[in-house]
Structure 1
Amino acid sequence: PWLMLKIAGQKKITHEHAENGGKIGRFYRKLVTPVIASRRSSWLFLIIVGIVTALSVSLFATKTVRVKLLPFDNKAEMQIVLDLPEGAALEDTERSLFALAESIRELEEIDNIQAYAGTSAPMNFNGLVRHYFLRQSPELGDLQINLVEKGDRKRTSHEIALDIRERIKSVPLLEGANVKVVEVPPGPPVISTLLAEIYGPDAQTRRAVAKQIKTLFHEADFIVDVDDSIGDPRPRLAVSIDAPSAADYGVMQQDILDTIAISFRGQVIGTSPRGEARDPLDIRVEFPRSEQIWSQKMATIPVPRRLAGITSDPVELGAVVNVNNQQGSPIIFRRDGRFADLVQGELAGKFEAPIYGMFEIQKRVDDVDWAALGLEKPVIRMAGQPENEQQNTLLWDGEWEITYVTFRDMGIAFAIALIGIYILVVAQFGSFKIPLVILAPVPLTLIGIMFGHWIFGAPFTATSMIGFIALAGIIVRNSILLVDFVKHGQTPDMPLKEVLIQAGSIRFKPILLTALAAMIGAAVILSDPIFQGLAISLLFGLASSTALTVLVIPAIYVALRGPDWRPKVESENV
């Protein structure tokens, strides 16, 4: 008011729309008059609006509008993670990485590619959660792919990742190799987008169930980059001392152990000073890496026979040791102290949210004849580790866990907000019924929100939910404007229908201008990949709710009281 007085000065301020609301008010009068002409027309309008709201929500069920925690962001980097079979040489990993890089180097969106064999690429937050810092083995490798700037390419990083995933399918790799295209997530990172934790009474049962679930993952055409936490046992070379032969040859067992250690690890025999107070360098004697394997040549390495006398000739290493190849121990994985095996996958294609992969796998689990496999059908849990580990259980985790927690918490927050609004309105109007009328238009935002997501082909994300919650306050404010005017405008000589038309005609313009201002503000983030859901919710939710609120509130009044209702003189207006 102070600023208005300073700007307007002494000019007389008038309200030319006070009588009928001007052109906008007259338009509103023509629109609302047939709706509130009678109780029947009001109920018919409310039923139609309810049906349209229900149909809009059904777009979730028909998968016309899909649900996802966060959409894929347009990042400047991604990774190709390579896992060769256990025991593969470092040279095999390097050759495979170079072959993968060669298959994608023609993409114009790629700026450079960095290969890391036997170790992980420089780690980011996503790599920290996925434990990439543990990738320190000859059969493991990473390709770090850096893209050109966003403004210099037409495709998003996700579209490029889908293209890369198709190109690398034709690259010949060792049997059993596993290749994943890893994108930087837009939100909290997880071990895998689609993650099934398998619990059971013993390791053998868990691994059998996990193997079958992994097969089901492979059968779903939109689940890619399938892997598990079990892997193949790492082969190992077991070298043991043949004690009887060592005794017969007069060889000390410590000499045999020292010879084996020197053969495979080398030996520091001295240091080389560098001067200038610098640390000296170790002088190490060792075989070339290509010869650090058990072979006929290594079996002929001499071992001294100190127990047989200093004049005795040494004996060959192969004569006093037993060498055989063994399978290593399987990987043991625990979560929160409980034994579990993991089956992992990513989603690409027609569905990219974990909920659809979960439904697909659950349907396939029901179709499997578990009795024929000698297994008990696993119980599927959506959240929380099982209390009874003697029963086979599949617990969904990964991005679903974050999605479930996020939408659950926001749903609780939304319910608390509605309760708080209800209490405030009860205190304002002194009635328990009027707040219900005021809150009735809140679901109307779903009509515009769902329509907007369908038009843009955008998933319903966490930011979309935030927009829906924010709209509740805006819609309630519009409802309060109308209800408050109706309450104070009721007189015994004016029927309810005229009071409603007058209230809507005068209040429609400020309600419309406020909505337009908020819509313009939301439009500027419509192209942002992360906050597009928020923009769609605000833009289309405001459009539908603003248009319907000014019609639904009068329709509720007339449906409950009739168009000709008048307050009694002795009664208090409600």
Structure 2
Amino acid sequence: KHCKHLGDETNSRNPFVRFQRFFANGLEKVILKYYKPVLHFCLNFRYASASLFIALLFIFVGVILGDRLPYSSFPRLPRDSVNIRLAMPAGTTFEATQRHIDRIEKHVLEYRKELNEEHGTEIITDVFATTGGNPFGSGRPGSRPSAGIAEAGEVVIEMLPTEETGVEIGSRDVTLALRDRVGTIPEAETFSFSFSRGGGGAMSVQLQGPSIDDLKEVSLELQKLMAGYEGLFDIEDSFERATEELELELKPAASNLGVTAQQLASQVRQAFFGSEAQKIQRGRDDVNVMVRYPKEERRSLASLRSMMIRTQNGTEVPFEEVAQVVPGKALPSIQRVNRNRIIRVGADADTDAVDVDAIEADIVENVLPPILAKYQGMSVSLEGRARETANNNAELVKGVWLVLIVIYVLLAIPFKSYTQPFIVMAAIPFGIIGALSGHFIMNFLLLDVLGRANSPTVSVSMLSLLGMMALSGVVVNDSLVMVDFINQQIKKGMSVLDAVRLAGVRRFRPILLTSLTTFFGLMPLMFDPSSQSAFLIPMAVSLGWGIVFATGITLVLVPVTTLIFEDIRVLFCKLYDKPIERVNHDEEKEKLVPAEVGS
């Protein structure tokens, strides 16, 4: 008798065993005292319960459509640097560009000193100023590092990440402060600030038409109207101003002397640009020896007019006898789409403060139509992020349909049923409720509770939707566990109602623990403050919080849906005079096998 208590864990002094017993008893209490009565109530009023779930789904979908939780395909996440890009009109001297860059650098250094002294730590670490090119390649999407351009300049500001400084001041805050300090440069063709990953402005409108002059007029008018929208800045177009050039025109006497345009251009090029005479090797380098006019003569237009042109028969005649110099202007480049010339008008914006989608819609629907009506053959389209979003959404829809079809096929084969996969998949759309709720919760926790400067879950992004697609697999897994248990109990002769009630109670623990372990595994990523994880946080939020909410939905919705499908089956059996009782095909096969062997 004195050893009777050895196998009894209730008297164990091990703290781990005590906690394990406490957790198990508490979970059992939740199942029997709270979950079981709720499940029975929902099963008794299954159609009202299903209607409630559907209503919740429409409410949360309306949250996105109503812009309470905005959607951005790929949100502009701040980086740990700010790029200021300057492009002056063609022909601007290096010294003029240098003066503007020096002024910008002066404001940046003053702000750096004030900011670092105010917070007692080094927030802005380095400032790089460059004149004569954009060596860091900032600016428009697709732009490349450039050098040797007198009218171009750039200032780059490097910062420490907020997780290292402990100060919630990011590149967005620095950009807004410097924009007010530096002001504008009216004579600049491009003067822009960039603080986010991905490059490019917040919006881009493409004008397309046959006449470059008409496009230029519409572009200027559109830029003036866009300047009236609060929150838009760095408004510019892709039109490159015409540069001065000298055109060589042949005189009638040129044809009599046998001088062609090709010969004229070739000889002028040789005189002013030069022709390669030979190469001289110096060490490991080759030096080109060019034959051309001296430097002083190449700077004078008089040298061109006084040069001698060689004719086909070898004689030389004065340049002005066969050609004349006509000053003109030409565009550096002309962009075309479908044989029509285009100009893109772009602008940047503080996407956290203004609704760029609403501004784009207003411009395309209300602002531009009256302007375009004055010009023939002109059209407009949204480019940049708007087009990327449309393309990504189209591809996402295709992917969703493919995933649903594959899941259905994989479920229909083992179940040997066309209807039961719908029961398992019924919980997939309702995982959206948890994913969207997770974005609201994380915004509150990161911005209001933890005081972060920004949150990557402020808007639903493409990665959020990809997380919802991954969530569908977990929801299917939980539903599959419950439906399989229901099928096993029905095969044992239990009624559908009793099997559903028992499945909810018996499968509550494994479904809940599986979901919670996944959620807690994703928590470090969801609360990671580093900028490197900002892209992955929306996916983790959709998956983690979606699992938590989908667990509760699965534990109630799957039993409710099972009974609704059973009601439909019974109704069809009555309509077509078929037996209502289920036939256990496995038992029939077991009965047939001995009979066949005996025969």
CA contact (8 A) 2:126 2:157 kept: yes
Give the whole-Å Cα distance in 1 for the aligned partners of 2:43 and 2:494: 17
Partner residue of 1:403 out of 389, 400, 408 = 389
Q: Which residue of 1 aligns with 2:366?
A: 367
Give the whole-Å Cα distance in 1 for the aligned partners of 2:423 and 2:284: 84
Give the whole-Å Cα distance in 1 for the aligned partners of 2:551 and 2:372: 58
Give the whole-Å Cα distance in 1 for the aligned partners of 2:353 and 2:382: 17
TM-score normalised by L of structure 2? 0.70
Letter in 2 for 1:419: I
1:349-498 equivalence runs, <5 A = 349-350=351-352, 356-368=355-367, 370-371=369-370, 375=374, 391-457=377-443, 458=457, 459-490=459-490, 494-498=494-498
Q: Secondary structure at the match of 1:78?
A: strand
**Are the structure 2 counterparts of residues 174 and 136 from structure 1 closer, same or farther at C-alpha, using a change threshold of 3 Å?**
farther
Shift of residue 426, structure 1, vs aligned partner: 1.4
Partner residue of 1:199 out of 194, 198, 208 = 208
Give the whole-Å Cα distance in 1 for the aligned partners of 2:461 and 2:368: 36
CA contact (8 A) 1:85 1:174 kept: no
Q: Which residue of 1 aligns with 2:509?
A: 509
Q: Which residue of 2 aligns with 1:538?
A: 543
Q: Which residue of 2 aligns with 1:178?
A: 190
> Structure 1 residues 177-186 or 79-88, which shifts more?
177-186
Larger helix fraction of residues:
2
Q: Which residue of 1 aligns with 2:127?
A: 113
CA-based RMSD: 4.6
- Identity of aligned pairs, percent? 17
Q: Which residue of 2 aligns with 1:317?
A: none
In the TM superposition, what whole-angstrom CA distance separates every residue of 1:465-507 from its partner, at most 9, and x where no partner exists? 1110111111011111111111221279755443222111111
**Are the structure 2 counterparts of residues 145 and 175 from structure 1 closer, same or farther at C-alpha, using a change threshold of 3 Å?**
same
Give the whole-Å Cα distance in 2 for the aligned partners of 1:77 and 1:490: 63
Give the whole-Å Cα distance in 2 for the aligned partners of 1:216 and 1:304: 51
Q: Secondary structure at the match of 1:75?
A: strand
1:263-342 equivalence runs, <5 A = 286=295, 327-329=329-331, 331-335=333-337, 338-342=340-344
Q: Which residue of 1 aligns with 2:13?
A: none
Letter in 1 for 2:175: L
Shift of residue 344, structure 1, vs aligned partner: 1.5
In the TM superposition, what whole-angstrom CA distance separates every residue of 1:419-448 from its partner, at most 9, and x where no partner exists? 111112111222211111111111111111
Q: Which residue of 2 aligns with 1:67?
A: 71
CA contact (8 A) 1:69 1:461 kept: yes
Q: Secondary structure at the match of 2:429?
A: helix
Q: Which residue of 2 aligns with 1:138?
A: 150
Shift of residue 84, structure 1, vs aligned partner: 1.8
- 1:167 aligned onto 2:167: no
CA contact (8 A) 1:65 1:460 kept: yes
CA contact (8 A) 1:104 1:164 kept: no
Shift of residue 42, structure 1, vs aligned partner: 1.9
CA contact (8 A) 1:199 1:394 kept: yes
**Are the structure 2 counterparts of residues 36 and 111 from structure 1 closer, same or farther at C-alpha, using a change threshold of 3 Å?**
same
In the TM superposition, what whole-angstrom CA distance separates every residue of 1:273-293 from its partner, at most 9, and x where no partner exists? 998798779999757xxx97x
Q: Secondary structure at the match of 1:226?
A: strand
Give the whole-Å Cα distance in 1 for the aligned partners of 2:151 and 2:522: 49
Q: Secondary structure at the match of 1:341?
A: strand
Letter in 2 for 1:333: Q
Q: Which residue of 2 aligns with 1:28?
A: 31
Give the whole-Å Cα distance in 2 for the aligned partners of 1:553 and 1:93: 69
Letter in 2 for 1:223: L
Q: Secondary structure at the match of 2:74?
A: coil
Unaligned stretches of 5+ in structure 2? 1-23, 117-122, 252-264, 309-322, 444-456, 574-578, 586-599
Shift of residue 242, structure 1, vs aligned partner: 14
Give the whole-Å Cα distance in 1 for the aligned partners of 2:499 and 2:284: 95
In the TM superposition, what whole-angstrom CA distance separates every residue of 1:494-541 from its partner, at most 9, and x where no partner exists? 554432221111111111111111112211211231111011111210
Shift of residue 104, structure 1, vs aligned partner: 1.7
Shift of residue 114, structure 1, vs aligned partner: 2.2
Q: Which residue of 1 aligns with 2:576?
A: none
1:232-271 equivalence runs, <5 A = 232-234=241-243, 236=244
**Are the structure 2 counterparts of residues 84 and 135 from structure 1 closer, same or farther at C-alpha, using a change threshold of 3 Å?**
same
Shift of residue 117, structure 1, vs aligned partner: 2.0
Letter in 1 for 2:361: Q
Give the whole-Å Cα distance in 2 for the aligned partners of 1:98 and 1:233: 27
**Are the structure 2 counterparts of residues 432 and 374 from structure 1 closer, same or farther at C-alpha, using a change threshold of 3 Å?**
closer
In the TM superposition, what whole-angstrom CA distance separates every residue of 1:389-416 from its partner, at most 9, and x where no partner exists? x743222221233333333223322211
Give the whole-Å Cα distance in 2 for the aligned partners of 1:261 and 1:337: 32
CA contact (8 A) 1:446 1:541 kept: yes
CA contact (8 A) 1:225 1:346 kept: yes
CA contact (8 A) 2:478 2:554 kept: yes
**Are the structure 2 counterparts of residues 207 and 508 from structure 1 closer, same or farther at C-alpha, using a change threshold of 3 Å?**
same
Q: Which residue of 2 aligns with 1:148?
A: 160
Shift of residue 43, structure 1, vs aligned partner: 1.9
Identify the structure with bigger relative contact order (alpha carbons < 8 Å, sequence gap 6+).
1
CA contact (8 A) 1:267 1:285 kept: no
- 1:93 aligned onto 2:100: no
Unaligned stretches of 5+ in structure 1? 1-20, 244-256, 293-297, 307-320, 377-389
CA contact (8 A) 1:200 1:392 kept: yes
CA contact (8 A) 2:372 2:379 kept: no
